[in-house]
Amino acid sequence: MTEASTEKAPVITAERSGVINWDSLPRRMMVVYVPLILFLLTLLFPFYWMVVTAFKSNAELYNYTDYSPFWIHSPTLEHINRLLFETDYPQWLWTTMLVAVCSTVLSLFVSVLAAYAVQRLRFKGSQWVGLAIYLAYLVPPSILFIPLATMIFKMGLYDSPLALILTYPTFLVPFCTWLLIGYFKSIPYELEECALIDGATRLQIMWKVTLPLAVPGLISAGIFAFTLSWNEFIYALAFIQSSEKKTVPVAVLTQLVEGDVYHWGSLMAGALLGSIPVALIYSFFVDYYVSSLTGAVKE
């Protein structure tokens, strides 16, 4: 930059005209829109492929010579039908929902208290506690699942949804707490001071002043926690054995493949249906979500 700054006025005008060129349509087309569209197509293609596969009949699915693989010639619900009425899929959905909701509620409760204590009550060493919670997020489940499996077994929780509800908070709580600390920080402390002067107790302040203001933060922490639990795989694979107690990701992978026969139609339908709940939640909250993610990253 220092070399550039020594150059003189003509360069500036040249660069100015360069800016105008940059904004001209054909160039903008090539530099921005074409790559962007390629990115979007690549990111979307696997989903398109899932949908196409899920609604094709088997005859069409394995016949690329008579039918173009890219379209559905005669849509069928046979795969969805098989999934819903001939497998335990509804049961898996229900278990996944139960586990995700319970672990999210538990994690939010624990995280709100912890984040409030760290950010607002400012006890001695609270910064260190905040750092420790952040570090806890960096401990990956693939290191913990073996010792956790032995603990779960000794506690008699093996093959029970409770095993998942209790272990999921290990990765949900650090994340939610971290997010909420950031959120509480953004709420002006003066509001709480006013309430304190008015004679409110600390519990009242938290319940009636801080938490209502923190609702957007709570919602995004809740969305995160819910999707992370919906997505979780390794604990559910290691701690659950009975087919009907499995969560969707594990069950689709382990129960829908019978020996060497892959029912691709049902597999794709299962993957698709299992993705819909989280995708729906996000589509309602995408802007929320992006802003809270950016908030968390900026921390």
Partner 1 sequence: MASTAAAWSGQRPEQSWLSRKLDDRRVLAFLFMMPVTILLVTFLSYPLGLGVWLGFTDTRIGRDGIWIGLENYAYLFDDSVFWLSVFNTIVYTTLATVFKFGLGLWLALLLNHALPFKSLIRAIVLLPWIVPTVLSAIAFWWIYDPQFSIISYVLTKMGIIDTNIDFLGTAWNARFSLIAANVWRGIPFVAISLLAGLQTISPSLYEAAMIDGATAWERFVHVTVPMLMPILAVVLTFSVLFTFTDFQLVYAITRGGPNNATHLMATLAFQRAIPGGYLGEGAAIAVAMIPFLVASTIFSYVALARRKWQQGGSDD
Which residues ranging from 87 to 116 are in contact with partner 1 (CB under 8 A)?
109-111, 113-114, 116
The residue count of the chain comes to 299
Is 1 a residue that touches partner 1 (CB under 8 A)? Answer: yes
Give the range of 75-83, 185-193, 201-209, 213-221 binding partner 1 by CB under 8 A. 201-209
Cβ proximity to partner 1, 212 vs 298, nearer residue: 298
Nearer Cβ to partner 1 (35/75): 35
Q: Does 261 bind partner 1 (CB under 8 A)?
A: no
Q: Which stretch binds partner 1 (CB under 8 A): 81-89, 182-190, 210-218, 275-283?
A: 275-283
Residues forming beta bridges with residue 258, ordered by sequence position: 261
Which of these ranges, 76-84, 87-95, 131-139, 181-189, lies near partner 1 under the rule CB under 8 A?
131-139
Give the residues across from 262 on adjacent strands: 257
Q: Tell which one of 60, 72, 102, 169 touches partner 1 (CB under 8 A).
A: 169
Min separation Cβ 256 and partner 1, Å: 9
* Residues of span 48-87 touching partner 1 by CB under 8 A: 49-50, 53, 61-62, 64, 69
To partner 1, the closest distance from the beta carbon of 69 in angstroms equals 6
Tell me which amino acid residue 288 is.
Y
Site for partner 1 (CB under 8 A): which residue of 57, 76, 98, 145? Answer: 145
Of the pair 151, 213, the CB lying nearest partner 1 is at: 151
CB of 234 to partner 1, least distance (A): 5
- What whole-number distance in Å separates Cα of residue 72 and Cα of residue 50? 12
Closest CB to partner 1 among residues 98, 200: 200
Q: How far apart are CA 171 and CA 137, in angstroms?
A: 6
The rounded distance, in Å, linking the Cα atoms of 53 and 69 is: 9
Q: Is 248 in the site for partner 1 (CB under 8 A)?
A: yes
Helix axes 89-116, 248-255, angle to 10 degrees: 150
Using an 8 Å Cβ cutoff, are 285 and 273 in contact? Answer: no
CB of 25 to partner 1, least distance (A): 13
CB count in 10 Å sphere of residue 216: 14
| DSSP per position, 125-190 | THHHHHHHHHHHHTS-HHHHHHHHHHHHHHTT-TTSHHHHHHHTHHHHHHHHHHHHHHHHHTS-HH
> Tokens 């949900």 belong to which residue?
172
